[in-house]
Amino acid sequence: MFIKKKASKSMTSDEISALIQSRIGQKTIFFKEQAVMCGMIRDYWIKEQGITLLLDTLPAPGLERFQSKITMFSDIKELSLFPNHFHAYQEGWHLFFHPQLVDKVLQTAAENAHNPNSNERFVEIVDAILVSLETLGDE
């Protein structure tokens, strides 16, 4: 999950756009700056410098929600795009779309929502992501 994969620079702008467009409005679990959140892509922009995603965060028991909208950027050569996983290596963010992974993370977060130890909650949630990726794959 946290290793560098083949960059998406081999994809055309139209292919990148089609893949991102297919995920607009679909629930995602995203990992950014050591926080795990639930949300969905609202909009995106592809420019020569890179890709910008605008995400709406969704409330989910046990997951972070710092603000209602988050913008994420990645240089195209640092971005790996797969149908169920978008990953910006240098920027350190991930978006996971596989419905079973999303459900497992939401369930795990809800089960741990009342744990006062934020580090333990985070470890349980990341473990749910890793176990799901091991079972489902990330592509």
Residues of the chain with pLDDT under 70: 1-9, 138-139
pTM: 0.87
- pLDDT score for 139: 61
pLDDT of residue 1: 40
* pLDDT for position 138: 60
- Give the integer Cα–Cα distance in Å for 38 and 86: 14
Q: Return the pLDDT at 112.
A: 94
Round to whole Å and give the CA distance between 105 and 62.
10
